[in-house]
Amino acid sequence: MSGIRRGPNPRLGFGAALLLAASMLFLSCTRETEGPAQVKYLIGVSQANLSEPWRIAMCEDIKAEAARHKDIRVVFSDASDSTQKQIEDVRHFLSYKVDLLIISPIDSLALTPVVTEAYRTIPVILLDRAVEGFDYTLFIGPDNLQIGREAGRYVTGLLGSSAGTVLEIQGRPGSPPTLGRSNGFNEIISKRKNITVLPPIGADWLKDRAEDNFLERMPASPSVDVVFAQNDSMAYGAYLAEQKAGRKNIKFIGIDGLPGPNGGIDLVRRGILAATFICPTGGKEAIEYGVDILNHREGIPKKIFLRTRKLTPTDLKTEKLPAPYVEATTKPAGKKIVIGFAQVGHESHWREANTVSIKEAVAKAGFDLRFVDCENDPAKQIQAVRDFIKRQVDIIAFSPIVESDWEPALVEAKAAGIPVILIDRAVDTKDDSLWVTYVGSDFLEEGRRAGRWVLDAMKDRGDVKIVELQGTRGSAPAIDRQIGFDETILGHPAFRIVRSESSDFTFEGGRTTMKRILKEDEGRIDVLFAHNDDMALGAIKSMEEAGLKPGRDIKIVSVDSVRTAFEAMIAGKLNCTVECTPLLGPQLVKAVQDYMAGKYLPIRIITSEGVFPAETARSELPNRKY
């Protein structure tokens, strides 16, 4: 991570602020009455534009949260949708020596070099849109795919079983929210054969453009039942166009759920929108995490995704506005927090390291831990969670052995008022309010990273035969690593998975499965992709027993990056390990402390991870903590 300068910025004086104001939009959002000597950190916020209401709301959220911290000052710049201007804005901040950069990039690719430049000297928080690669401290954003899916589910519900026609109005072409929302929406809608989806209209997130483009398109279009606009402003624009055309039958759906006149909430209240989906700006979280980063707090993740929530007229009838988060609580004074933790088992080196990390971090934080090893038995794990409910622990945390069958126990936990934190693995439930947050890895990305390594390592070869050793059937890492890997090699017909078998994440499973495959399969195997290092190490043993040279005759990539994998790479038997860190204890503790302090937690907190090819093994081994 980049270094953080400590101590007051020597150039925080009023004169300097004015200098900055000459070329940037400067909003002094901290205390006017206080002298600069009290300000310890200067934060630069590079905003993509201030023409979208959602971005204005983001700045307001940043200002409101910053005002709660006496020792920070925030300066803003507005790039007015010009990438060149945004690059200059960042350079300006750097020359002004800000202590932290918060940036919402206009264009991920074009902004990557300057973000990398900034990250060399200061921490960088990306808001809403990412850049290429991993040269940043933390990404904060909405889960656009999920928002799109939620909108899709709502629209299918709205149409019931009847046939219908749907029109999508999209934001800026090619931007991540445009793609994510559209993919999520269409994934759900395409399952219904009697729903016709018209070619989308583009409107660059803008109300007026949506109004114009909708008016232009509609006379020629067949009748539409539902308009799904990727933000509320465009939904409103399309609604106004519809009014002008004198028609009134369409239902309009939007995204953002902003407060204020003509914000999504107001539009739903006035019956203009049938629903909106809250898309939190992340401004509040950017300052909260920014302050934690500047103060070197432990447990800072790499990415956090914020929750969404549907708002319909019925939701708005309640007195209190429904929020996208699960309500936080505050710790009762003088009471020691008790955490019930239901661990998967002790199937791998990874799991052992995970258990140590949880136990150490929880003890260091001064919490009480009730720990149950569930020995890879899903029924035993559900029972452990029910026991925690009976004993009324303060927090239940667990790493689900499998994704399925969790709904009833989690409903019981919710009814008992006990918050649930998912660690390492996810659950498959319809209602995501049954758990407060998920802390762990991006397993899809791990699968993709393994796939990319294979494509690169074998790029000169034709007809590459791959054997896959999967982890526990039905577990989140096995499901997602497989999807991520498949998705990456898809489109490369020379790469074929010839066998894919489950080996339960254990050394023994990997050994026996590979022994059997080598016996049964006469043909050549070029690559082994194992869902964890332990299975790869077991398979290596069987290959050697069969007279093969693992790492040379068969290239091997696996996931976890445990010490024994580095030793195998140094011995030339393993070619690459994709990191999946088990050191989740500090992040669990941070999530519990934040929750107990009344903070709202993101829906997913994703930890920082890398990829280690064999060439890096010797230099990396001394740094490995597990």
The residue from 44, 164, 477, 484 that contacts ligand AHR (CB under 6 A) is 477
Considering only residues 570-589, where is the footprint of ligand AHR by CB under 6 A? Answer: 580
SS3 content of the chain, % helix, strand, coil (to 5): 40, 20, 40
Query: Does position 47 bind ligand AHR by CB under 6 A?
Result: no
- Residue 203 Cα distances to 184, 441, 626, angstroms: 19, 35, 50
Q: How far apart are CA 588 and CA 585, in angstroms?
A: 5
Residue 94 C-beta: closest distance to ligand AHR, Å? 39
Closer residue to ligand AHR in complex, CB, 282/451? 451
- Which of 540, 531, 527 has its CA nearest to residue 496? 527
For the chain, what's the residue count? 626
- Residue 162 Cα distances to 193, 194, 247, 252, angstroms: 11, 7, 21, 18
Residue 349 C-beta: closest distance to ligand AHR, Å? 7
Residue 484 C-beta: closest distance to ligand AHR, Å? 13
Q: How far apart are CA 534 and CA 199, in angstroms?
A: 48
Closer residue to ligand AHR in complex, CB, 563/599? 563
Q: How far apart are CA 31 and CA 564, in angstroms?
A: 54
Query: Does position 505 bind ligand AHR by CB under 6 A?
Result: yes
Query: Does position 172 bind ligand AHR by CB under 6 A?
Result: no
Residue 425 C-beta: closest distance to ligand AHR, Å? 5
Closer residue to ligand AHR in complex, CB, 204/560? 560
Binding mask 530-569 for ligand AHR (x = CB under 6 A): --x-x------------------------xx---------
Which span sits near ligand AHR by CB under 6 A: 105-113, 323-331, 347-355, 365-373? Answer: 347-355
Which span sits near ligand AHR by CB under 6 A: 85-93, 126-134, 346-354, 507-515? Answer: 346-354
Question: In terms of DSSP H, where are the helices of 331-471?
Answer: 349-364, 378-390, 407-415, 443-457
Which span sits near ligand AHR by CB under 6 A: 223-231, 342-350, 495-503, 583-591? Answer: 342-350
Considering only residues 413-472, where is the footprint of ligand AHR by CB under 6 A? Answer: 424-425
Closer residue to ligand AHR in complex, CB, 81/567? 567
Residue 512 C-beta: closest distance to ligand AHR, Å? 17
The residue from 86, 230, 343, 348 that contacts ligand AHR (CB under 6 A) is 348
Q: How far apart are CA 214 and CA 207, in angstroms?
A: 10
Residue 477 C-beta: closest distance to ligand AHR, Å? 4
- What amino acid occupies position 559? V
Tell me how far the alpha carbon of residue 133 is from its chain's centroid: 15
Closer residue to ligand AHR in complex, CB, 253/476? 476
- Would the CA dihedral through 127, 213, 240, 158 be positive or negative? negative
Q: Is 119 helix (H, G, I), strand (E, B) or coil?
A: helix
Closer residue to ligand AHR in complex, CB, 300/559? 559
Residue 375 C-beta: closest distance to ligand AHR, Å? 12
Closer residue to ligand AHR in complex, CB, 77/561? 561
Residue 29 C-beta: closest distance to ligand AHR, Å? 42
Question: In terms of DSSP H, where are the helices of 245-373?
Answer: 264-269, 283-294, 349-364
DSSP-assigned letters across all residues of 417-441: T--EEEESS----S-GGGSSEEEE-
- Would the CA dihedral through 509, 372, 482, 615 be positive or negative? negative
- Which of 55, 39, 21 has its CA nearest to residue 286? 55
Joined tokens for residue 560: 């976890």
The CA R_g of the chain, rounded to the nearest whole Å, is 26
Query: Does position 347 bind ligand AHR by CB under 6 A?
Result: yes
Residue 398 C-beta: closest distance to ligand AHR, Å? 12
Considering only residues 224-243, where is the footprint of ligand AHR by CB under 6 A? Answer: none
Closer residue to ligand AHR in complex, CB, 48/576? 576
The residue from 228, 289, 350, 507 that contacts ligand AHR (CB under 6 A) is 350
Closer residue to ligand AHR in complex, CB, 233/355? 355
- What amino acid occupies position 549? K
Residue 476 C-beta: closest distance to ligand AHR, Å? 7
Beta strands in 461-591 (DSSP E): 464-470, 495-502, 527-530, 555-560, 576-579
Closer residue to ligand AHR in complex, CB, 20/382? 382
Number of residues that bind ligand AHR (CB under 6 A): 13
Q: How far apart are CA 4 and CA 355, in angstroms?
A: 31
Helix pair angle (533-545, 507-520), 10° resolution: 40
- Which of 258, 225, 227, 222 has its CA nearest to residue 240? 227
Query: Does position 604 bind ligand AHR by CB under 6 A?
Result: no
- What amino acid occupies position 221? S
Query: Does position 351 bind ligand AHR by CB under 6 A?
Result: yes
Which span sits near ligand AHR by CB under 6 A: 170-178, 344-352, 484-492, 570-578? Answer: 344-352
Contact positions vs ligand AHR (CB under 6 A)? 347-348, 350-351, 424-425, 477, 505, 532, 534, 559-560, 580
